[in-house]
């Protein structure tokens, strides 16, 4: 950890971004921009999910493999070897989808919710008051 006396605050110029390149694009977005369909990407992710690190590295280096397979294999390899679980999660979510989340509606301490009663005020032209 750097010593406080060695840390210098960065002087930002007015209008200068602290992140000029912006947020890094997700692998799925990059592949879509390269012209691959969602089904192609999902198929590549799904196949690569079963490979070992050694196999992923071999696929990435194999020039006879389709480009999409090489890209996905490399991304999986980098994410797994670095322990980048956020990237692994991103890849798996595009492969098998996000897990469904159940919602439970209950009252205080898990009790049943009270019934909802809707009241409607009479309209001005309602003849029920005559």
The residue extents of the domains of the chain are: 24-96
pLDDT band per the 50, 70, 90 thresholds, residue 130 = low
Q: How distant is the alpha carbon of residue 125 from its chain centre?
A: 54
Give CA–CA dist 23/19, Å, rounded.
8
pLDDT tens, position by position, 95-112: 667 777 777 777 777 788
126: pLDDT strictly greater than 60: no
């Amino acid at each position: 950890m750097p010593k406080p006396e060695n840390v210098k605050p960065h002087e930002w110029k007015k209008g200068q971004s602290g992140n000029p390149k912006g947020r890094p694009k997700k692998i799925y977005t990059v592949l879509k921009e390269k012209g691959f369909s969602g089904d192609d990407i999902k198929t590549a992710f799904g196949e690569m999910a079963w490979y070992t690190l050694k196999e992923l590295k071999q696929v990435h280096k194999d020039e006879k493999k389709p480009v999409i397979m090489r890209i996905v294999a490399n991304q999986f390899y980098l994410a797994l070897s670095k322990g980048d679980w956020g990237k692994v999660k991103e890849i798996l979510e595009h492969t098998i989808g996000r897990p469904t989340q159940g919602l439970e509606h209950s009252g205080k301490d898990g009790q049943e919710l009270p019934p909802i009663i809707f009241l409607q005020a009479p309209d001005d032209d309602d003849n029920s008051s005559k």
